[in-house]
Structure 1
Amino acid sequence: MTSPSNGRQARAELGKRLREIRQNAGITARELAARAGWHESKCSRIENGRTLPSESDLRIWARHCGVAEEAADLIATARTIEGAYLQWPRVERQGLRRMQASVQPLWERTRHFRSYSSWLIPGLLQTPSYTGAVLDAVRDRKGLADEVRDAVQLRMERQRILHLAPRRFAFVVEESVLRHRVVDRQAMAEQLGHLMWIAKRPNLSLGVIPLDADRTAMWPVESFWLFDDAQVNVELVAAYLTVTQPNEVAAYTRTFAALADLAVHGDAARRLIENAVEALSVPGRAP
Structure 2
Amino acid sequence: MEQAGSLGARGSTGSAAPDIRTASVRVPAQARASDVERERGVASDESRSASGARGEHTHSESPIPHPRVETARPVVQRASVRGQILDALRTALVAGELAPGQVYSAPVLGERFGVSATPVREAMQQLALEGAVEVVPNRGFRVVRRGTRELAELAEIRALLEVPVVLRLARTVPAARWAELRPLAEAAARAASAGCRATYAECDRAFHHAILALAGNDQLVQIADDLHRRAQWPLVGGPVPRGRADLMADAAEHLALLDALTAQDLPAVQSLVREHFADRA
TM over 0.5: no
Range into which the TM-score falls when normalised by the shorter chain: under 0.3
Q: TM-score, structure 1 length as denominator?
A: 0.22
Higher strand proportion: 1
Higher helix proportion: 2
Q: TM-score, structure 2 length as denominator?
A: 0.23
